[in-house]
Every structure is written in C-alpha cells, then in structure tokens.
Chains A and B, each alone.
Chain A
Amino acid sequence: MSGIGAALLNSLDIGLLLFIIAVGLNIVFGVLNIINFAHGALYMLGAYLAFTLINIAGMPFWAALLLAPIGVAILAVIIDRVLLRFIYSRDVADSLLLTFAILLIINESVRMIWGSGIHVVQPPQLLSGSVELLGSSVATYSLFVIVIGLLLLAGLWYLFNRTRVGRIMRAAALDRDMAEALCINTRMVVTGVFAFGAWLAAVGGVMAAPMRALDPGMGDKIIIESFIVVVIGGLGSFPGALLGAIILGLIHGFGGRYLPEVNLLLPFVGMALVLLFKPNGIMGKGASA
C-alpha cells in the first residue's frame, strides 16, 4: 500500500509540474496559433536564473521564484517584438522554424554562460525535510509542488473564466479580427500572451530546480514531455493539458517504480496508443490533415 501511495504522490507532483509547463505551451498556441519550440528552453532558463539568484547572488528561494520568471517573461517580450513579429502573418511552418532557431540559440547560450556541467539548487530550509503521509515518508518539497500546482490550476481557471483579461484572451483566440474590431489591442494581447506562456514555463523551471539536477539538456527533455502531454490531451484544450499531464505523471510515477527497464519508452508508447485511437487527443478536435 505504501508503495502505491508514494508512487501516486510522485505521479501527482510530476504531473502538476508538467501541467504548469504544458498549459503555457497550450495558451500560446491557442491565441497565437504557433507551437513554441523554445518553450522548454525558457523553462531551462528559469531554472538557471534561479540557480544564479540563489547560489551566486545569495537570495532566498522565494525571491528567485518571484524574480526568475519575471526575467524570462521580459526576455520573451523582446523575442516577440524583435523576431516573432515578422512571421505572425506567414505560413505556420515559418513560426515552427523560427522558434526552433530560438531554441538552438538559447540552448547554446546556456551552455556558454553556465557550462555543460551539472548544477544543483537546494530546496529552502522550510521545505527540505519530509513528512509522514499515507503511511510513508514524503518529501515536503513534493507536497509544496503539488500545492503550488493546484493553486496555479485554480488561478488559471479563474483568470480565463471570471476576469476581463481572460475574456479578452479567449476573444483573441477565437477571432482576432473581430476582437480588433471591438477595440482590443490584439498586438499587445499577442505579446502579453507570449510573455505569460514564458512566465509559466519559467515558474515550472524554478519549481523543478531543487528536484532535478540542472544541465543544458533539461529543456530538451521537458519540451518532448510537453509535446506528449498536449498530444495525449489535445492541443489547445485546457482540461486536455491537465488530463495529459496527469496521465504522463502516472506513467512516470508508476513506470519508474515497477518497470524501470522500459521507463524511457513508456511515454512514447502511451502517446502512440492515444494517436491510434484518438488522433486529435482525448479532449482535442480538428487536428486531422
């Protein structure tokens, strides 16, 4: 029983972390209609900025959790205004190519600035112990990730369904021309949404930093995972992102414990199975060519 309980909690913390990251990818796709290949690189940048703020500048974890994502969001505004503005009116292939180029640039920059070695970030004192839960000891930090994940989930739901800003974002996603006709500055919405997506990725990065070692390949891993999440759940669907993230979390939580030999392959098998029976994802629609 305790084994299953621990695997379940583990699945939940992996799943909610993935949700934070994948939902950012999904929101950007929903409004801008582009898949941001550099999303994982922005997540990595959040983690590395947190490392610098905590280990080099000596700031507390909480300050890094606040500041690092803002830094990444500012960079995202620059990327949007300097590079992406050229290709919004073009074919979708160009946006894929350009964000891929940005991914290469960020990946190599991280390698140049922080080196290719591994860096470690310690969790804050308050969260570094473990607690007894469901008859087994659980890292306090895992519970913290779960709580923050649930808070962000509730916050995002509130933002999209109950606020004016959320309504504007949904309007821009549905019909940008119509939104513009209603005096909404869609250019600002586009930049804002791209920065918000980057902010979410970076929050995920800071949250992940004390759980995983930092290395220049960490962005690659997470972007693949995020793609699997949105393919399983359905591209552009908010509940889909949650469902996909939880499914992938369960695959990792239980697969890592009970099937360690094929652990790396399981997410792809899961994705292939969903594709065979639901090509548009479990909650998605209209992806067929």
Chain B
Amino acid sequence: MKTKVLMAILAVVIAGLIAVPWIASYFYVFIFTEILILGLFAASFNLIFGYTGMLSFGHAAFFGIGSYATALVLIHLEWPFLACLLVSMGASALLALMIGFLSVRLNEVYFAMLTLAFGMMVFAIAYQWRSVTNGSDGLAGFTLGSFGLGLDLTLANPSVYYHVVLAIVAIASVVLYVICRSSFGMILRAIRQNPERVSFAGLNVRTYRLVAFVIAGTFAGLAGGLIAPFLRVASPELLHWSMSAEPILMAILGGTGYFLGPFIGSAAFVLLETWITTYTESWMLVLGIILAMMVIFFRKGLLGTAIDWWMEVKK
C-alpha cells in the first residue's frame, strides 16, 4: 500500500517535470533546470553526509572542477556535450581521489577542516592561474555544439536543454539510488552508525569511505558539467565555500535520512532564493539563519518532518 502511494506520487512528479516546458513560462524552465542540477549536486553530497556520516565543507571543489572541465573542453576542443560531461566526471573523480586519500582517514572534525581547506585550495588555484582559468572573471564565451550519440538536439534552446538535464539527472539519480540500496550502500550506513563494529567485521572502513567520497565527487562533477552551459560561465564562485554550503543546506532542508531529501531541499532552496533575492541582496544571511534553525529545531528536514507528521495522523 505504502509503496503504491509513493510510486503514484513519484509518477505524477516525473510527468509534471517532463511537462514543465509546455505548461510553464521560460522563467520556470530556468528555475527547474537549476533545481534539477543543484538537486543532483546535493544528492551526491548526501551520499557521503547522510549515508556515510562524513560532513564535507568542500564539495563545491568537485562541482566547480566539473564546470571548468566542460567549459575548457568546449572552448579548446569543441567536443560533443556528452563527451564534455565524461571529462568533467573524470576530472572530479581524480580530484576526489587525491583530496579523499588525505582526508578520509581522519575523524569527523579533521575531515571537516581538511575538506574546507582543500576546497579553498582549488578555489585559490582557479583564482590565480589566469592563463588557464581566466582568474576571477571565469571562463565564458563557449557554445554548445552537438550532444553526441548522433542525436540531433538544439541545446541552445532552454526547453531542449531542460529535457537533456532532466534525462541525465534522472539516470544519475537511478544510479545513485542503486548504489545506496546495494550492499555497498548498506555498509556505508553501517559505517555512519558504528565504524568500529564495521572494522571488527573485517571490512576496511577507510577504503569504503574513500570510494564513497570519489563516487560523490564524480556525480558532483557531472552536476558541475551541466551547470556551466546553463550559467554560460565557469567562475571561481562555483568553487567557493559558500557554494559548498548550498548542498549542505539543501540536504538538511529536505532531510538527510532520505534519498529524495536533497532534491526536495534543492527545490525549496531555489524557490526560496528566487523569492528572497527580489527583496534583499543578503541571501547568505537568510541562508545562515535558515541553516541554524533547521539544525536546532528541524534536524530531520522537510521530508522527515512531513513523514513523521503523516505517521502521527495515520495513528
């Protein structure tokens, strides 16, 4: 019964998402493109935070590297978009392997400090290495050519780009979901609850944490590859720690204990941002206050609170 209701809700949501360009204005096509991309970014973050219990303050490093990789390949090599995304994923996986190797062996407090420091290191490189990254201005002026796979898509059309993003995010989400539900995902959850017991069971906790970190970084890189053509620029702001704060907030807003939590958090976040920035420029201030309130009072997030409420009502 419960799964049937959930499936029905999910089907309606997916149908609604597919229909967005036909029923809503261009403004909302842009909004929903952003929600989907940031949702994937937040879901990749939640694999290490919600599932494995590692709180990273440098997840924007992988998102940003992904966007720079796509921008660079588009500018210098003019490859099809799909190939750009694969390069983005490869680049962020490699970076995640390097940062993760140094960070995952230490405890939670150290891990938080190290991810933040290494994240800002990547930011500093992008800021200073002007000949490649164009410094604080970022990389702009790239155009999307073909998609790849012989598909004839006009990527410059926002509606087409939205559908491409929807399809890629959907596929990536299914892959992430399968990873979360696999025995590997079960072990990650066990590590979050009690790493000592997992290592007593003969499993190498450090390796599992590193693999989770690399997977999360790879999907964040994919999200970054999708955001560059959407924003038409890859700039250092995408690497800054305030960008790392966004998936943290989205995951907590939606609910870190649920696979779909980060997506709901992303939707709430983007809609809230759109609404609030029409009134004030101090979006980060509002973000900080919301984060503080969520952590203190609503630790389970919107989805968790709603599910608790639903259970209460059914009783």
Contact = CB atoms under 8 A, between A and B. Distances in A.
B189 interface: no
A98 B295 contact: yes
B285 A112 contact: yes
Given A97-B295, A264-B124, A275 B109 contact: no
Contacts of B299: 94
Contacts of A224: 116-117, 120
Interface stretch (A100-108, A118-126, A158-166, A186-194): A100-108
Contacts of A220: 120, 241
B105 to A, nearest CB: 6
Contacts of A275: 102, 114
A276 B285 CA distance: 37
Given A101-B289, A105-B288, A235-B110, A94 B125 contact: no
Contact of B117 (A103, A104, A264, A271): A271
Nearest to B98: A272
Given A220-B120, A224-B120, A227-B116, A92 B109 contact: yes
Nearest to B49: A93
Nearest to B283: A108
B205 interface: yes
Interface in A184-236: 220, 224, 227-228, 230-231, 235
Interface in A220-272: 220, 224, 227-228, 230-231, 235, 264-265, 268, 271-272
B285 A231 contact: no
A101 B285 CA distance: 9
For this complex, into which size category does the number of interface residues on chain B fall? 35 or more
For this complex, into which size category does the number of interface residues on chain A fall? 35 or more
B167 interface: no
A112 B282 contact: yes
B114 to A, nearest CB: 7
Given A96-B55, A272-B102, A279-B106, A101 B112 contact: no
Contacts, number: 116
A93 B107 contact: no
Given A105-B285, A289-B205, A227 B295 contact: no
Given A98-B295, A108-B284, A264-B128, A93 B102 contact: no
Scoring B104, B285, B291, B295 by chain A CB atoms within 10 A of each residue's CB, the highest score goes to B295
A89 interface: no
Scoring B57, B104, B118, B291 by chain A CB atoms within 10 A of each residue's CB, the highest score goes to B291
Contacts of A96: 55, 57, 108-109, 112
B108 A108 contact: no
Given A103-B288, A104-B245, A264-B124, A35 B112 contact: yes
Contact of B291 (A87, A97, A107, A265): A97
B104 to A, nearest CB: 7
A62 interface: no
A93 B291 CA distance: 13
Given A103-B288, A104-B287, A276 B105 contact: no
B123 to A, nearest CB: 10
Contacts of B288: 101-105, 108
A98 B109 contact: no
A83 interface: yes
Given A227-B116, A231-B117, A97 B106 contact: no
A272 B98 CA distance: 10
Contacts of A98: 291-292, 295-296
Nearest to B102: A275
A104 B242 contact: yes
Interface string B177-191: 000000000000000
A86 interface: yes
Given A108-B285, A268-B117, A275-B102, A101 B291 contact: yes
A154 interface: no
Contacts of B296: 83, 86-87, 98
Nearest to A93: B55
B221 interface: no
Scoring A104, A111, A268, A280 by chain B CB atoms within 10 A of each residue's CB, the highest score goes to A104
A231 B116 CA distance: 12
A187 B121 CA distance: 37
B172 interface: no
Scoring A94, A231, A264, A279 by chain B CB atoms within 10 A of each residue's CB, the highest score goes to A264
A109 interface: yes
9 contacts: A29-B109, A92-B109, A93-B53, A93-B108, A96-B109, A96-B112, A105-B292, A108-B288, A275-B102
List the 3 closest A-B pairs by CB distance, nearest first: A104-B288, A105-B288, A108-B285
Interface of A: 29, 35, 37, 83, 86-87, 92-94, 96-98, 100-105, 107-109, 111-112, 220, 224, 227-228, 230-231, 235, 264-265, 268, 271-272, 275-276, 279-280, 287-289
Given A98-B292, A105-B289, 16 more contacts: A87-B296, A92-B108, A94-B295, A96-B57, A96-B109, A101-B291, A101-B295, A102-B288, A102-B292, A104-B291, A108-B288, A220-B120, A265-B124, A279-B105, A279-B106, A287-B107
